[in-house]
Amino acid sequence: MNNLSDKQLLKELKQRLEERKSIEDKLYAMSADYQAVSKRLKDSEALKSHFISNITNEIVNPFTSIIGLSKSILSVEKQDWKKVVSMVALIHNEAFNLDFQLRNIFTAAKIEAGEIAPNISKVNVRSLVQSVIDSFSVVARKMGIEIVLDYDIEFGFGKNYYYKTDSEKLKQVLCNLLNNAVKYSYKDSKVIMKLWVDDDVLHISIQDFGTGISEKNQKIIFDRFKRLDTGINSINQGHGLGLSITKALLDVLNGDIQIQSQKGEGTTFTISVPESQNVVDSFTGEGDDMFFDEGDEIF
């Protein structure tokens, strides 16, 4: 081997040091990436644990109430029928909430598993929207909230307007948005639901005049497993699942959702759903049955 000059040795040493530094930088970057991934996994597990804890309460509490109230009804004397009516109304409310939460949980599971796909039919939009409003009539009346429908669609078969989309998914989107609007409204106020069509795109807005959403929270309301108020004594029910499902379902329908809100003044959610280009022959009235039949009023 030829002897290297001092200059060549210095050059070789410098090159080796640069290579070592490059390797150390790569190892440092990989370590930082690993730590970041590890933190995200821990955060995800914490969020999921919090989520499971919340949904456990959402399911167990209504069941406990239903069982307790049903047992009380069995012991009521015939002359105390008014007590029975009152307890039946409470059972209806608990069962309604339970059904609502379970449907969102099952949909979330399908979304996570990648098993969600559109099922297109010709949907009677007015009938579907009215069925959603009827589903919440008892809850809204209990809070003194008036649900106003502004139906600004003048064409179609009389009052009926058929639109090619997935009735079940659209209905669940509207139920989640109307549930939020009623839940966060002030008592003795109103919720306005407006429908219109523009360039083969169905637009539906739901406006409440309640607590509103801060600018900070508007950035996270569609995130899975998060809720706006995690305080142990929070007066706000729910676990933040509904809006994330709403966003996911609208993605399946190639739709979009926008929010306008002022803290203390209310919130307006507006969804836009383009008409499907699929060729379909089936017609749907109200979509798949959701919640309870509100034909019989309970006071």
CATH of the domain at 50: 1.10.287.130
- 289 belongs to a structural domain: no
Is the same domain home to 130 and 233? yes
> What integer pLDDT is reported at residue 96 of this predicted model?
79
> What integer pLDDT is reported at residue 200 of this predicted model?
84
> What integer pLDDT is reported at residue 233 of this predicted model?
34
- Alpha-carbon Rg of the chain, whole angstroms? 27
Is the same domain home to 227 and 177? yes
Name which of 180, 182, 177, 243 is nearest 205 in CA terms: 177
The token duo for 79 is 């002359």
CATH code: domain of residue 257: 3.30.565.10
Q: In the listed set 116, 149, 183, which residue is the last one of a domain according to the structure?
A: 116
Give the position of tokens 């989309």.
165
d(CA 31, CA 28): 5
For the chain, the domain total comes to 2
Q: In the listed set 116, 132, 163, which residue is the last one of a domain according to the structure?
A: 116
Quote the domain boundaries for residue 125. 121-284
- At residue 236, φ and ψ (nearest 5 deg) are -90, 120
**262 has a pLDDT exceeding 50:** yes
Q: In the listed set 80, 96, 116, which residue is the last one of a domain according to the structure?
A: 116
> What integer pLDDT is reported at residue 52 of this predicted model?
60
- 219 belongs to a structural domain: yes
141-160 pLDDT, tens digit each? 888 999 999 998 876 555 67
> What integer pLDDT is reported at residue 111 of this predicted model?
80
5-39 pLDDT, tens digit each? 777 777 888 888 888 888 888 888 888 888 877 77
Phi-psi region of 156 (alpha: psi -120 to 50; beta: other; left: phi over 0): left
Is the same domain home to 50 and 179? no
202-258 pLDDT, tens digit each? 999 999 999 998 888 888 888 755 444 443 333 334 445 788 889 999 999 999 999
